[in-house]
Amino acid sequence: MTDSLYPFKFHPILKERIWGGQKLKNYLNKNSQSTKVGESWEISDVEGDTSIISNGKFKGQSLKQILLDQKEKLIGHKNHQVFGDKFPLLIKFIDAREDLSIQLHPNDQLAAKRHNSFGKTEMWYVMQADAGSNLIVGFNQQVTPELYLKHLNDKTLTQILNFDEVKAGDTYFIEVGRVHAIGAGVLLAEIQQTSDITYRIYDWDRVDDQGNERELHNDLAIDAIDFEMKNDFKVQYETVKNKPNQMVRCNYFTTNYLNLDGLFKRDNHHDSFMIYICTEGEATIHCSNSLTTLKKGETVLIPAGIKSFEISAENVTLLEVYV
């Protein structure tokens, strides 16, 4: 029954990474004693890493179970027609204590052919950045495959990459094929297609505790790279209070910026679930049969069957996502 559904919260899936740190614990209140937590998977239907509901009467059930049971009541009719019993988005927080590897993601066609997976179009919203922190996005000049391979083999790849110094609120759209990396000192929210396919092309000659370098994927990457020099990746958006300000709209998701103060009434006309990621402050979501609190560093999934709700808040910042 649709009226039995309510906003779902999930247990974060914390991932240790060689480049991870402690900001997920210190800034976003994630429960970890590790000093190298790099990622918190907030909503995931990746095989082997399925999110588990942490609130309400479905507590303990997985996102996969709820999707199999509720189908279009959870994700919407059109989404269920397209994606079937696969949740289409993966939501993460990422803490880069050190530079991440330089990488890219394949498009849907390559990912399906090689990995039986979706491609991985994604976006980043910077939540906090240490002074002087950078993101790498794309090239700083026109690059041919031959020039790229020369720099790759000479270990001078960074000479042809574009570095952007960033601050909180900066937003980037990372299309498939675009070379990119998150730099040391950046904490961000990532919204992406449900895929864990990454082609790592350079890892700063880094080794793990056993002295091993991480695997690179340069044979796969060369056919997947977009060598076009584009300057369309930094997202410009408004921050008008108490209304959805569109940040990104693409074939895979729409993301809006919300800065709410008071009571915000929201009707869902999108035939889609809606996700809210709290990046600052605290809010309460009022549905007909429930109240759900949402604090900084938390994420909530509102089923498509819930057609109207209200959010009460005092100067809260949310990212609103739907398909």
| Total of domains in the chain | 2
Q: Domain containing 157 — which CATH number?
A: 2.60.120.10
Q: Within this chain, do residues 191 and 279 fall inside the same structural domain, yes or no? A: no
Q: Where are the alpha helices (DSSP H) in the chain?
A: 23-26, 63-70, 72-75, 77-83, 108-115, 145-153, 218-221
Nearest to 298 by CA among 312, 314, 316, 322: 316
Please indicate, yes or no, if residue 133 is contained in any of the structural domains. yes
Q: Within this chain, do residues 214 and 263 fall inside the same structural domain, yes or no? A: no
CA distance 106 to 220: 9
Q: Within this chain, do residues 197 and 279 fall inside the same structural domain, yes or no? A: no
Please indicate, yes or no, if residue 239 is contained in any of the structural domains. no
| Residue-level pLDDT at 3 | 64
Q: Within this chain, do residues 129 and 269 fall inside the same structural domain, yes or no? A: no
Q: Within this chain, do residues 151 and 253 fall inside the same structural domain, yes or no? A: no
**Tens-digit pLDDT string for the chain (323 aa):** 456 899 999 999 999 999 999 999 999 999 999 999 999 999 999 999 999 999 999 999 999 999 999 999 999 999 999 999 999 999 999 999 999 999 999 999 999 999 999 999 999 999 999 999 999 999 999 999 999 999 999 999 999 999 999 999 999 999 999 999 999 999 999 999 999 999 999 999 988 778 888 899 999 999 999 998 888 999 999 999 999 999 999 999 999 999 999 999 999 999 999 999 999 999 999 998 899 999 999 999 999 999 999 999 999 999 999 99
Q: Within this chain, do residues 130 and 257 fall inside the same structural domain, yes or no? A: no
Asked whether 268 and 274 are in contact (CB, 8 A), the reply is: yes
| Residue-level pLDDT at 2 | 54
Please indicate, yes or no, if residue 228 is contained in any of the structural domains. no
Full-model pTM:
0.95
Please indicate, yes or no, if residue 230 is contained in any of the structural domains. no
Please indicate, yes or no, if residue 56 is contained in any of the structural domains. yes
What separation in angstroms does the CA of 295 have from each of 27, 216, 292, 313?
Answer: 12, 38, 10, 10
Please indicate, yes or no, if residue 235 is contained in any of the structural domains. no
Nearest to 233 by CA among 122, 323, 320, 91: 122
Q: Within this chain, do residues 278 and 200 fall inside the same structural domain, yes or no? A: no
Domain that holds residue 124: 2-221
Neighbours of 267 (CB within 10 A): 8
| Residue-level pLDDT at 289 | 82
| Residue-level pLDDT at 1 | 46
Nearest to 192 by CA among 92, 268, 273, 112: 92
Q: Within this chain, do residues 193 and 257 fall inside the same structural domain, yes or no? A: no
Given CA atoms 111, 117, 121, 124 in this order, what sign does their dihedral have?
negative
Q: Within this chain, do residues 15 and 69 fall inside the same structural domain, yes or no? A: yes
Please indicate, yes or no, if residue 199 is contained in any of the structural domains. yes
Please indicate, yes or no, if residue 80 is contained in any of the structural domains. yes
Q: Within this chain, do residues 197 and 97 fall inside the same structural domain, yes or no? A: yes
Tokens 């009022």 belong to residue: 286
